[in-house]
């Protein structure tokens, strides 16, 4: 006697619908699960056996074989428990609803516990035409975000079986409305006094998705500024928001950020983060790292020179390809990782290099050079702007003059984004930060006076080709913010101010 | 390695080095390694802190240039900070310079001075008493300072903290009967403690290049190029106004002196937003009227 149930295996953000087959045959009582399973699924035997019995059903005292098909796809985690139990019970009784996928972990008493990754599973199943799901109650809301999918939240195996038998009518969970929520820890620009250069850099970064490096001593307000950047970014689109929520679901971090939020995420991993934590990986399910949790938003690396060099090297792929491949024993999965990078660093290990008042910098010369060298290489190439964030004295901090609020700046950012979107139709490049060398020439359309400034600057500062491109990208965004068709001399001059001191 | 060895008593043995023998002990130099060609010696030694302030670096560069322009050889220690600024200033003004290393000539130290090393060897000489591959040991540096002092007729300490190696150069110079001068500095902060103390202890203050006229008569006359390079007075700017930027530019130049000013304050004083200020500073920087410095500071270039 063979019966089946449907579940889903996740691989990265995607996955494969899994058919759980259960066979009950004559022979010595045994319970075997096959189909490229991990340890959590092998342990499912004990959970399923106890849950079935404690939910009031009989566990067949015969030779039970469960196969998770397709057998060549690796499967991980405890989310298959419910489907295994349903397939098993179906060998002995009529459960007429068979186009329903079951996801959930079983408790020994027959309860159903929440699992991670339900949202990406629901999206994957919907793509294969499976639009009815039984999921743990606590995961029902996230699964319901998938449009057109009917989600039944259950708290126990008994309820799930009653529903499948048609004895119990459960109302599908209503999709929570997507809507604007204040990003946790959001900072309004108006709350930051002074630092007008850094604020302008944030505006440009938000408008053109440029990566930014802030240099300044500890306590100058770099973290506040980075947080404010997340507030300047426009809302995510519905699809993008769902993708972001899927990533958080996979990582089991929906408590950090509501799945319905349209605000771009802000992530600020500490420099003690592991490589897997930053880039993605881990021993169990391939989990997205901080770079993917920042997808669509801002990744802030404070004290960037303190991060291990290997971590920074590993950022090269997400910075260039806007996604990250996580290679594990059983193959490679890919997560989206399209973020604006904000890095912050002290100018030297003690932070006081170049400071005029006592106490001056006391770092050894070699230490300063080594410290700054950490920032070179692939990271530096992808950072378009450098802004100094000095520690301000009283006169600047308490001077009069209202600071511009986030809402006003965000409006200009939205305008600049719209102009980029218009251009994207012809260039195929969504944001100025992604413009390549050939496209830059086409979209810059420098006027004569701008060209003159560019030539003079190139001679005076001996700009490298990379530096030219960075300046051109940034000036294109500045011109977009000003609503200019061509890159003007003013835009170029302002971009020069943000080019950073050295190559 | 192109260096060659020069033994004491050789025909071109720098005369000043013989003075070290009179100090006795292990002070004498038996041979030196040389890369490039020795310019006319004795010269003027410019020494100071490796972690110099911007003011210190500017001063070193300027003194180096003033001397280089007059054909006076600048001797220094090729270290980061003041030493390098002195070498560079001298070379930029077309002068000749001698770098006395604290390691063998084949050792690439400090590594960031690779370019400077080539320039010095082409337009002056690199000198070391250590064999080619001797590394930069801590005790080499105070020891090589005696050579810097010996090769010079005067030592100018540009900026030195309390424990700076430049002070040891000054001591050697005093022992050898060389002239010792120091550039007066701010009494706030640590940066000038050592050099200011030298002044108190009897070193002569260095205010401009004519202070070296006693030992180098060519320093008595202000050079034609110096007059143009005098620090501009805020009011005297009208001679060379940047035409396009207009009123704001003039006011900005009046605000900024050679002492760095935070840009935040400039913006406030002019009533300009970040964007407007950046454009204005960009224009002025492009024309060479101002210079952006790390830490959000703006200064007038001294030359």
- Residue B293 CA to residue B174 CA, distance in Å, equals 36
- Residue A256 CA to residue A247 CA, distance in Å, equals 12
Q: Which residue has the tokens 């001593």?
A: A217
Given a cut of 60, whether residue A284 has pLDDT beyond it is: yes
Tally the C-alpha atoms within 13 A of residue B303's C-alpha that lie toward its C-beta. Answer: 19
User: Average pLDDT, stretch A129-136?
Assistant: 94
What distance in Å separates residue A313's CA from the closest CA in chain B? 23
Q: Looking at domain A179-400, which of 3.60.10.10, 3.40.50.300, 3.40.50.2300, 3.40.1010.10 is its CATH number?
A: 3.40.50.300
Collapsing DSSP to helix, strand or coil, A420 comes out as helix
Tell the burial category of A148 from Cβ atoms under 10 Å away from its Cβ (0-12, 13-18, 19+).
exposed
Q: Which residues of chain A have a CB within 8 Å of the CB of B296?
A: 197, 216, 388-390
Q: Which residues of chain A have a CB within 8 Å of the CB of B189?
A: 356-360
What's the token pair of residue B301?
């270039």
DSSP conformational letter for A496 = H
Which of B112, B278, B294 has its CB closest to that of A497?
Answer: B278
Among B242, B262, B265, B291, the strongest candidate for a mutation testing the A interface, having the largest count of A CBs within 10 A, is: B262
- Is B191 an 8 Å CB contact of chain A? yes
Say yes or no for a CB contact (<8 Å) between B51 and A360.
yes
Domain ranges across chain B: 4-227, 231-299
- Residue A499 CA to residue A201 CA, distance in Å, equals 11
What's the token pair of residue B46?
């410019």
Q: Which residues of chain A have a CB within 8 Å of the CB of B265?
A: 395-396
CATH fold label, B4-227: Rossmann fold (3.40.50)
For the stretch A323-356, pLDDT in tens is 998 887 767 889 999 999 999 988 777 777 766 5
Given a cut of 70, whether residue A360 has pLDDT beyond it is: no
- Residue A145 CA to residue A143 CA, distance in Å, equals 5
What distance in Å separates residue A378's CA from the closest CA in chain B? 20
Collapsing DSSP to helix, strand or coil, B115 comes out as helix
User: Average pLDDT, stretch A16-33?
Assistant: 94
CATH architecture of A2-165: 2-Layer Sandwich (3.30)
Q: Which residues of chain A have a CB within 8 Å of the CB of B188?
A: 357-358
For the stretch A202-244, pLDDT in tens is 999 999 999 999 988 888 889 999 999 998 999 898 889 999 9
pLDDT at B224: 46
- Residue B294 CA to residue A389 CA, distance in Å, equals 10
- The DSSP result for B238-278, as a single string, is GGS--TTTTHHHHHHHHH--SS-EEHHHHHHHHT--HHHHH
CATH fold label, A404-503: Helicase, Ruva Protein; domain 3 (1.10.8)
Given a cut of 80, whether residue A395 has pLDDT beyond it is: no
Mean confidence (pLDDT) of chain A: 88
For the stretch A72-113, pLDDT in tens is 888 988 999 999 999 999 998 888 887 899 999 999 999 999
Which of B51, B282, B294 has its CB closest to that of A388?
Answer: B294
- Name the packing angle between helices A448-461 and A489-497 (round to 10°): 30
Please state, in angstroms and as integers, the Cα–Cα distance from residue A396 to each residue in A312, A352, B252, following that order: 35, 19, 17
Q: Which residues of chain B have a CB within 8 Å of the CB of A362?
A: 51
Which of A200, A360, A493 has its CB closest to that of B282?
Answer: A493
Q: Residue B146 contacts by C-beta under 8 Å, 6 or more apart in sequence? A: B20, B27, B172, B176
- Residue A474 CA to residue A94 CA, distance in Å, equals 65
pLDDT at B223: 58
Given a cut of 70, whether residue A427 has pLDDT beyond it is: yes
Q: Please, which residues bridge with residue A324 across strands?
A: A335
Domain ranges across chain A: 2-165, 179-400, 404-503
For the stretch A183-205, pLDDT in tens is 555 788 888 888 888 999 999 99
pTM given for the model: 0.73
- Is B188 an 8 Å CB contact of chain A? yes
Neighbours of A357 (CB within 10 A): 11
Whether residue A21 contacts residue A255, with contact meaning beta carbons closer than 8 Å, is answered with: no
- Residue A247 CA to residue B296 CA, distance in Å, equals 39
Say yes or no for a CB contact (<8 Å) between A395 and B265.
yes
pLDDT at B239: 38
CB pairs under 8 A between A and B: 109
pLDDT at A358: 57
Which residues, given as ranges, of chain B have pLDDT below 50? 1, 224, 226-244, 303
What's the token pair of residue B60?
């070193």
Say yes or no for a CB contact (<8 Å) between A496 and B110.
no
CATH architecture of B231-299: Orthogonal Bundle (1.10)
- Alpha helices (H) along A315-436: 316-321, 365-373, 378-381, 394-397, 406-427
- The verdict on whether omega for the bond into residue A116 sits within 30 degrees of 0, i.e. cis, is no
Collapsing DSSP to helix, strand or coil, B103 comes out as coil
Which of A199, A365, A496 has its CB closest to that of B282?
Answer: A496
User: Average pLDDT, stretch A61-69?
Assistant: 94
Given a cut of 90, whether residue A6 has pLDDT beyond it is: yes
Q: In A426-460, which positions are buried (b, 16+ CB within 10 angstroms) versus exposed (e)? A: ebebbbbbbbeeebbeebbebeeebeebbeebeee
């Amino acid at each position: 006697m063979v019966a089946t149930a449907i579940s889903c295996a996740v691989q990265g953000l995607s996955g494969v619908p899994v058919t759980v087959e259960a066979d009950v045959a004559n022979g010595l009582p045994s319970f075997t699960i096959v189909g490229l399973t991990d340890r959590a699924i092998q342990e499912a035997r004990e959970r399923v056996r106890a849950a079935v019995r404690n939910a009031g059903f009989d566990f067949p005292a015969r030779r039970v074989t469960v196969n998770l098909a397709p057998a060549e796809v690796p499967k991980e985690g405890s989310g298959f428990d419910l489907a295994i139990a349903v397939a098993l019970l179906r060998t002995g009784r009529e459960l007429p609803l068979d186009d329903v996928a079951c996801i959930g972990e079983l408790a020994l008493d027959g309860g159903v516990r929440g699992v991670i990754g339900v949202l990406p599973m629901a999206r994957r199943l919907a793509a294969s035409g499976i639009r009815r799901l039984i999921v743990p109650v606590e995961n029902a809301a996230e699964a319901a975000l998938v449009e057109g999918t009917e989600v039944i939240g259950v708290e126990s195996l008994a309820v799930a079986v009653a529903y499948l038998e048609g004895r119990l009518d459960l109302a599908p969970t209503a999709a929570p409305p997507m809507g604007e929520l204040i990003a946790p820890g959001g900072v309004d620009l108006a709350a930051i006094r002074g630092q007008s250069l850094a604020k302008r850099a944030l505006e440009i970064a938000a408008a053109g998705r440029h990566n930014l490096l802030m240099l300044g001593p500890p306590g100058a307000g770099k973290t506040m500024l980075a947080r404010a950047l997340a507030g300047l970014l426009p809302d995510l689109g519905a699809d993008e928001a769902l993708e972001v929520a899927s990533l958080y679901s996979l990582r089991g971090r929906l408590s950090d950020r509501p799945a319905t939020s349209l605000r771009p995420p802000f992530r600020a991993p500490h420099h003690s983060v592991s490589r897997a934590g930053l880039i993605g990986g881990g021993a169990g399910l391939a989990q997205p790292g901080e770079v993917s949790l920042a997808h669509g938003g801002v990744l802030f690396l404070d004290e960037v020179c303190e991060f291990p060099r290997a971590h920074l090297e590993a950022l090269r792929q997400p910075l260039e390809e806007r996604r990250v491949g996580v290679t594990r024993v059983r193959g490679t999965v890919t997560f989206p990782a399209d973020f604006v990078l904000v890095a912050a660093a002290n100018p030297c290990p003690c932070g006081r290099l170049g400071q005029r008042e006592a106490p001056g910098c006391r770092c050894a010369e070699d230490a300063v050079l080594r410290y700054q060298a950490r920032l070179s290489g692939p990271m530096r190439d992808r950072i378009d702007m450098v802004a100094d964030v000095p520690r301000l004295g009283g006169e600047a901090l308490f001077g009069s003059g209202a600071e511009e609020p986030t809402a006003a700046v965000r409006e200009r950012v939205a305008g600049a984004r719209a102009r980029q979107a218009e251009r994207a139709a012809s260039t195929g490049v969504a944001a100025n930060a992604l413009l390549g060398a050939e496209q830059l020439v086409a979209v810059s359309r420098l006027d004569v006076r701008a060209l003159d400034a560019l030539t003079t600057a190139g001679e005076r500062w001996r700009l490298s080709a990379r530096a030219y491109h960075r300046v051109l990208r940034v000036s294109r965004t500045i011109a977009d913010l000003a609503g200019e068709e061509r890159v003007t001399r003013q835009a170029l001059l302002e971009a020069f101010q943000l080019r950073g001191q050295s190559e | 390695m192109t260096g060659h060895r020069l033994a004491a008593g050789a025909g071109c043995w720098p005369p000043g080095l013989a003075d070290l023998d009179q100090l006795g002990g292990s002070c004498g130099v038996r041979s030196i390694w040389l890369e490039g060609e020795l310019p006319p010696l004795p010269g003027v030694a410019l020494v100071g802190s490796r972690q110099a302030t911007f003011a210190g670096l500017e001063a070193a560069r300027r003194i180096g240039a003033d001397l280089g322009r007059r054909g006076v050889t600048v001797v220094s220690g090729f270290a980061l900070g003041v030493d390098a600024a002195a070498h560079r200033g001298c070379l930029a003004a077309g002068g000749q310079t001698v770098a006395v290393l604290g390691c063998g000539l084949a050792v690439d130290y400090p590594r960031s001075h690779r370019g400077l090393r080539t320039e010095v060897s082409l337009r002056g000489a690199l000198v070391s008493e250590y064999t080619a591959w001797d590394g930069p040991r801590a005790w080499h540096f105070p020891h090589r300072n005696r050579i810097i002092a010996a090769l010079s007729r005067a030592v100018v300490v540009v900026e030195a903290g309390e424990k700076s190696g430049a002070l040891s150069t000054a001591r050697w110079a005093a022992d050898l009967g060389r002239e010792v001068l120091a550039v007066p500095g701010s009494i706030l902060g640590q940066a000038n403690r050592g050099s200011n103390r030298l002044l108190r202890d009897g070193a002569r203050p260095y205010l401009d290049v004519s202070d070296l006229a006693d030992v180098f008569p060519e320093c008595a006359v202000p050079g034609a190029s110096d007059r143009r390079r005098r620090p501009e007075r805020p009011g005297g700017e009208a001679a060379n106004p940047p035409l396009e930027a207009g009123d704001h530019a003039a006011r900005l130049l009046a605000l900024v002196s050679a002492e760095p000013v935070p840009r935040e304050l400039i913006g406030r004083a002019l009533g300009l937003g970040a964007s407007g200020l950046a454009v204005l500073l960009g224009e002025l920087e492009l024309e060479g009227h101002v210079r952006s410095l790390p830490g959000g500071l703006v200064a007038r270039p001294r030359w």
